[in-house]
Amino acid sequence: MAVRPATRRDMETIIALIHGLADYEREPDAVVLDPDELAEHLFGPHPYAEVLIAEDADDGPVGFALFFHNFSTWLGKPGIWLEDLFVKPEQRGRGHGKALLVELARIAVERGCGRVEWSVLDWNEPSIAFYKALGAVPMDEWTTYRLEGSAITQLAGD
């Protein structure tokens, strides 16, 4: 088992894992990404996010974590937002998810981050139990809001 930073050569793997995540989250038709645009956002001159790949010695890539930096004004430090963590269902329970989070925590410490945060669907009890076992605590008093599509352009004045 190994975890490594993704490279542009991993694009097909990353996209396949994103589709696997969408299937798991019961949203298989929600993935509408453009592969070239995603590659530019991940590996272009100004990357917006980073990806870690979990590999099994026998089965190759089995999972991924996609993350980016945010910032805490109260801590006065950067943080890491874990956008997605996914391990193929047949590979779960073998330590790949924990290995991805261990590497993400190592990166957070190395970069002087004050926290690592993420969201989890409220019905995803296996993931919730997994995160709690690692020491993560729910932020139940917070509600996530989102602007997307036409709401963004309308607010921007277009």
Residue from 24, 48, 131, 145 carrying the catalytic annotation: 131
The most distant pair of C-alpha atoms in the chain lies apart, rounded to whole Å, by 53
**In Å, how far are 62, 67, 102, 147 from 85, measured between CA atoms?**
11, 9, 12, 22
Residue 4 pLDDT class (50, 70, 90 cuts): very high
Q: Which CATH architecture has domain 2-156?
A: 3-Layer(aba) Sandwich (3.40)
Mean pLDDT of the chain: 96
Whole-number Å distance between alpha carbons of 115 and 130: 18
Domain boundaries, the chain: 2-156
24 among known catalytic residues: no
Which pLDDT tens digit goes with each residue over 46-62? 999 999 999 999 999 99
pLDDT category of residue 1 using cuts at 50, 70 and 90: confident
Sign of CA dihedral 154, 46, 10, 136: negative
CA distances from 68 to 48, 50, 108, 124, 156 (A): 7, 6, 11, 23, 24
* Confidence band for 120, pLDDT divided at 50, 70 and 90: very high
pLDDT at 97 (0 to 100): 97
